[in-house]
Amino acid sequence: MATIDGEEAMFETLDPVPSEIATAISDGLNAFNESAEIKREAFAIVWRENGGIIAGITASVCFSVLFIGNLWVAKSLRLSGIGTKLMAAAEEEGRRRAAVAACVDTLSTQAPDFYPKLGYVEFGRVSGHAGGRPVDRIWFRKEFSAAA
């Protein structure tokens, strides 16, 4: 139970979040969105080597926007161009699914210089702290040209 505005409420805080709870919340929101004809098409692109995944990207297209979820490249392969190739592949898949723009976020401790090199423009930033040091969360957007 939690107290909100001086009244007890039936809220429960869960930490860590059990997977079935995360799924129930996500499924509920997805059902609502589908009833409002807001469709989300999720996909992933992976690079496999010797049976293992060494790089990958998760993304989705919703209301004509490609949302990049996570981009990961094995440490030994970073700065090799794989991340750029994965972004290009995700953008191509997004366009195939009728996306007219893309959106991605990153932390100032991760890859804030990577996305502008690919034509992304910053449109939002929230500053915070992690481990006693300042960290920003940064959002980027890229408009797709009609000819691409």
Q: How many domains does the chain have?
A: 1
Q: Which residues pair with 143 in a beta bridge?
A: 101
Q: In whole angstroms, how far apart are CA 80 and each of 83, 100, 110?
A: 8, 28, 16
Q: How far apart are CA 148 and CA 146, in angstroms?
A: 6
Is residue 10 domain-resident?
A: no
User: How far is it, in rounded angstroms, from Cα 42 to Cα 50?
Assistant: 26
pLDDT category of residue 3 using cuts at 50, 70 and 90: low
pLDDT given at position 20: 95
In tens, the pLDDT along 85-114 reads 999 999 999 999 999 999 999 999 988 999
Of the chain, the end-to-end C-alpha distance in Å amounts to: 53
Q: Is residue 72 part of a domain?
A: yes
Q: What are 49-91's pLDDT values in tens digits? A: 998 999 999 999 998 999 999 999 999 988 899 999 999 999 9
Q: How does the average pLDDT of the chain come out, rounded?
A: 90
- Its domain, for residue 106, covers 40-143
- What is the reported pTM? 0.80
The yes-or-no verdict on residue 5 having pLDDT over 80 is no
What pLDDT score was predicted for residue 79? Answer: 85
Q: How many helices (H) and strands (E) does the chain have?
A: 3, 8
Question: Is residue 116 scored above 60 in pLDDT?
Answer: yes
The answer on pLDDT for 7 being more than 90 is no
Write the pLDDT tens digit of every residue in 9-50.
677 788 899 999 999 998 888 888 777 777 889 999 999 999
7 within a domain of the structure (yes/no): no
Whether 13 is in a domain gets the answer no
Is 89 inside any structural domain?
A: yes
Do residues 47 and 82 lie in contact, with contact meaning Cβ atoms separated by under 8 Å?
yes
Whether 96 maps to a domain, the answer reads yes
23 lies in a domain?
Answer: no
On whether residue 5 sits in a domain, the answer given is no
131: left (phi over 0), alpha (psi -120 to 50) or beta: left
Check: CB of residue 94 under 8 Å from CB of residue 100. Answer: no
pLDDT of residue 69: 95
Indicate which CATH number applies to the domain containing 136: 3.40.630.30
